[in-house]
Amino acid sequence: MSRVQTIEIDGYKAYLVPADIWERVKEMVEDAEDAAEYERAVVQDDGVRFPHEVASAMLEGAHLVRAWREYRGMTLQALADAAGISKAYLSQIEAGKRTGTAATLKKLAAALGVPVGALVL
């Protein structure tokens, strides 16, 4: 015989569930919700990961281009050369004085080995 009881209140069915059964059911529902959320995250994953050093630099106010450049161990000149832009232009981007065109950000992203989205938030 089931320990769950059914009662009727004002024409509606209600269920009285013992606490131990409710706790088990609640945990199973939470596990199912967690699994569904994980699946959604996997489907939406763009593959971009921010290493701790880059995230920390961002939190301290560093420009994303600079954070990634320093993480990759590149000098301003090395990144500018790899992206085909001037060192002065790169310096202005990192200082926030210029934003950089979409084409420039694409070149910087390629030189840093990251998607363009990792350079703009």
DSSP string, 97-118: S----HHHHHHHHHHHTS-GGG
pLDDT of residue 91: 97
Q: What is the pLDDT of residues 34-84, one digit of tens each?
A: 999 999 999 988 777 899 999 999 999 999 999 999 999 999 999 999 999
Q: Specify the pLDDT at position 1.
A: 59
Q: Report the DSSP beta bridge partners of residue 15.
A: 6
Alpha-carbon distance of 86 to 109, in angstroms, equals 15
Domain layout of the chain by residue ranges: 5-44, 52-118
| pTM for this predicted structure | 0.65
| CATH code for the part of the protein at 52-118 | 1.10.260.40
CA dihedral sign, ordered 98, 99, 104, 107: positive
What are the phi and psi torsion angles at 30 (to 5°)? -60, -40
